[in-house]
Amino acid sequence: MREIIFDTETTGFDPRNGDRLVEIGCVELIDRRETGVTFHAYFNPERDMPAAAEAVHGLSIQFLSDKPLFATRVDELLEFLGDAPLVAHNAAFDFGFVNAELARAGRAALDMARMCCTVQMARKLHPGAKHSLDALCTRYGIDRSHRVKHGALLDAELLAHLYIEMTGGRQIGLGLAASTASMAASVAATPAPSRPDRPFREPRPHMASAAELARHAEFVAGLNQPLWLDTV
């Protein structure tokens, strides 16, 4: 199954208030494994960059001023997304910004039924814990030491690792249980080899003889303050 893990960076929190999408990063998974295929783009937001937003992702309006408009690369983005399920952290936020940009470009919105939110997954798996990307990477032992600031592609790559771990780890699709069961059934169905030339032997007794029990009792009686007597 093909899935797309994605993340966005923006000028603020609400596209209804004029905030714009400035970066998107997408990572392709097939059967819950990264293929190495990605989509990454910066966009000119056609507005200023608030200092608070720039402090989060480090994208200045000077850097973005020569980047393409979203509408310029919308077809490329939609082709990459295809009809795959779309996984994001706090997915409603990312869907909101992408759909706002799609509307500006005269395109249909992404179907919210395609949305998979890893924050909601984390709340079910770890109620009462912190659910930020940083906190969950720490919980699952995912290295994020190179994450100095937020970046859409970097965060999508971290989220891909996290999503795989949260949905059972990398071995969930290997079918080990089925293979083991099949092998066990095959072994059980194989008849034991017949050895008519081997004479029958009575099972040997494994009980201690009276003489062995007497020697053991004598040995125990000679022990100096054995530890088990401390509990008597």
The answer to whether the beta carbons of residues 136 and 107 sit under 8 Å apart is no
Q: Catalytic site residues?
A: 150
Q: Rounded to an integer, what distance in angstroms lies between the CA atom of residue 195 and that of residue 169?
A: 47
